[in-house]
């Protein structure tokens, strides 16, 4: 499934004004190298968007190497546990190296039987967060916090662990969605040649011409202009109408087969060392067994801005601020381009992508008309989003190549970054709400 080449960071030529973004990325790559003794392929690819890369690296460094309640070896083992849920051996191999460098017990890498009971107790939360975060409730928090003796988790330790889990679950989606290659020192790893299109001044690629006479970008821009005109001319839809359109999109989500119709890749033997209940997987929220007991998550009742941000900062000092900046940068990021078109307001498309991702996890934005999701996101892109978010290890090269064919490479990567962030925020909203319920 590995198919995307990335920016050759060491072949930048003489400076000119159009290369500003490339030089910003190069500075961040140098910083990453000083911290990690390597510039991982996913870091290079994220470098297509230097403003976001800066915050991504700061956040990852903070949760893995900065001040925090968890020992460093624990942090890297938790990252391994998270990546194992999606069979992401690329991340597992990287984190195994870091785990050992931080003095981790090598026997932990052989079997779950060898890890401390405290970490074993986290396996259930890891499993739920990765695949069905709406099932997480205060009883899961209580069992961890009230475990006996040295096996119990403090709420600050648990908050730290949950942020690491959500970060690496979501990073798995980006790894698979963008087709990251193994590192040169990993099995089947190799270096890259630099594709010429990645040196575009906006860190973009030459769009692929679609098979239709009228490109998808042109049609999308016209649809956004039509919706904007309707906003000005028509009355705001009622709450009943907003709920109805959400339910329609939610049921359509469940009808999309996406990755679930594909055979899951054969589980590599070493993955069993880090997995409990490997058959547990995503289930469409609309098909949950107890819809009355697990209602739709309404952002009006518990939002990141009004609730999650402050609780995250309270439980794990400063992490909420870093996450907030990262979420907003991924959401707001724009160069005002779509494919070959310039001076385009992309906000409507970005919002549709973000809200559709969170719809997959049962989250409804109360003030949003989900009719725009169906107007702006065509079926193949919906399929791709669902596969990358919910069944990332079943993503194929064809998935990546068949969507957004008229868009720049950097724009497709931006969509993958929104997949990462919107998914991570969804996991954190469920987890922080459960922690709030336990604490109150």
The DSSP-derived string for 152-219 is PPPHHHHHHHHHHHHHHHHHHHHHHHTTPPPPTTSTT-------GGGGSTTS--PPPP-SSSS-HHHH
Direct distance between the N- and C-terminal alpha carbons of the chain, in angstroms, rounded to an integer: 45
For residues 49 and 26, give the distance between their C-alpha atoms in angstroms, rounded to a whole number. 11
- pTM, rounded to two decimals: 0.87
Burial class, 338, CB count within 10 angstroms (exposed 0-12 / middle 13-18 / buried 19+): buried
| CA-only gyration radius of the chain, Å | 21
Give residue for tokens 């469920």: 430
- Residue 406, CA atoms < 13 Å, CB-side half-sphere: 18
Q: What is the pLDDT of residue 58?
A: 95
To the query of whether residue 261 is one of the catalytic residues in this protein, the response is no
Q: Give the β-pairing of 363-364 and 297-298.
A: parallel
Asked whether 400 and 270 are in contact (CB, 8 A), the reply is no
Total number of residues shown for the chain: 440
Report DSSP state, residue 137.
Answer: -
How much of the chain is in helix, strand and coil states, percent to nearest 5?
A: 60, 0, 35
Q: Which pair of structure tokens corresponds to residue 50?
A: 């230097």
Q: Report pLDDT for 439.
A: 96
Render each residue's pLDDT in the chain as its tens digit; 440 residues.
444 444 333 333 444 444 555 555 555 555 644 455 556 788 888 999 999 999 999 999 999 999 999 999 999 999 999 999 999 999 999 999 999 999 999 999 999 999 999 999 999 999 999 999 999 999 999 999 999 889 999 999 999 999 999 999 999 999 999 888 665 444 543 333 343 344 343 445 444 444 444 589 999 999 999 999 998 888 889 999 999 999 999 999 988 887 766 666 667 777 889 999 999 999 999 988 888 889 999 999 999 999 999 999 999 999 999 999 999 999 999 999 999 999 999 999 999 999 999 999 999 999 999 999 999 999 999 999 999 999 999 998 778 888 999 999 999 999 999 999 999 999 999 999 999 999 99
Helix (H) or strand (E) holding 364: strand 363-364
Q: What is the pLDDT of residue 170?
A: 98
Q: Could you read off the pLDDT of 366-384 as tens digits, one per residue?
A: 999 999 999 999 999 999 9
Three-state secondary structure of 2-71: CCCCCCCCCCCCCCCHHHHHHHHHHHHHHHHHHHHCCCCHHHHHHCCCHHHHHHHHHHHHHHHHCCCCCC
What CA–CA distances, in Å, run from 392 to 46, 169, 353? 18, 10, 17
Per-residue pLDDT at 267: 72
Q: What is the pLDDT of residue 19?
A: 55
Please report the pLDDT score of residue 168 as a whole number. 98
Nearest to 425 by CA among 355, 334, 371, 368: 355
Q: What residue has token string 């490339």? A: 22
Q: What is the pLDDT of residues 182-224, one digit of tens each?
A: 654 445 433 333 433 443 434 454 444 444 445 899 999 999 9
What is the model's pLDDT at position 127?
98
Structure tokens at 30: 């140098």
Residue from 4, 22, 88, 389 carrying the catalytic annotation? 88
Tokens of 205: 């690629």
Mean pLDDT computed over every residue of the chain: 86
């Amino acid at each position: 499934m590995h198919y995307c080449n990335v920016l050759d960071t060491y072949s930048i030529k003489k400076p000119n004004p159009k290369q500003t973004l490339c030089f910003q990325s190069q500075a961040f790559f140098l910083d990453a190298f000083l911290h990690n003794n390597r510039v991982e392929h996913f870091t290079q690819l994220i470098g297509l968007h230097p403003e976001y890369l800066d915050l991504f690296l700061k956040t990852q460094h903070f949760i893995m190497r900065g001040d925090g309640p968890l020992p460093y070896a624990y942090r890297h083992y938790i990252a391994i546990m998270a990546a194992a849920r999606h069979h992401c051996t690329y991340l597992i191999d990287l984190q195994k190296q870091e785990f050992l460098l931080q003095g981790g017990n090598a026997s932990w890498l052989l079997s779950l039987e060898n890890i401390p009971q405290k970490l074993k107790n986290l396996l259930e939360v890891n499993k739920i967060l990765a695949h069905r975060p709406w099932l997480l409730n205060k009883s899961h928090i209580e069992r961890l916090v009230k475990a006996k003796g040295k096996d119990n988790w403090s709420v600050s330790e648990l908050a730290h662990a949950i942020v690491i889990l959500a970060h690496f679950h979501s990073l798995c989606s980006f790894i698979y969605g963008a087709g990251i290659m193994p590192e040169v020192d990993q099995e089947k790893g190799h270096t890259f040649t630099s594709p010429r299109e990645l040196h575009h001044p906006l860190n973009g690629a030459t769009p692929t011409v679609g098979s239709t006479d009228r490109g998808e970008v042109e049609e999308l821009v016209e649809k956004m202009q039509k919706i904007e005109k309707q906003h000005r001319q028509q009355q705001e839809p009622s709450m009943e109408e907003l709920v109805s359109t959400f339910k329609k999109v939610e049921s359509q989500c469940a009808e999309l087969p996406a990755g679930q119709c594909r055979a899951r890749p054969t589980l590599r033997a070493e993955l069993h060392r880090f997995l409990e209940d490997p058959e547990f997987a995503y289930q469409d929220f609309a098909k949950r067994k107890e819809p009355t007991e697990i209602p739709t998550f309404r952002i009006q009742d518990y939002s990141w801005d009004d609730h999650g941000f402050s609780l995250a900062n309270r439980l794990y000092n400063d992490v909420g601020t870093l996450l907030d900046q990262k979420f907003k940068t991924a959401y707001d990021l724009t160069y005002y381009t779509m494919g070959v078109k310039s001076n385009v307001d992309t906000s409507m498309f970005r919002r549709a992508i973000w809200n559709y991702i969170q719809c997959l996890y049962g989250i409804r934005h109360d003030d949003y008309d989900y009719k725009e999701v169906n107007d702006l996101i065509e079926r193949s892109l919906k399929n791709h989003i669902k596969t990358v978010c919910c069944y990332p290890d079943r993503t194929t090269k064809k998935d990546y190549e068949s969507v957004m064919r008229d868009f720049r490479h950097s724009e497709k990567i931006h969509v993958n970054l929104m997949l990462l962030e919107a998914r991570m925020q969804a996991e954190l909203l469920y987890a922080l709400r459960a922690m709030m319920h336990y604490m109150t």
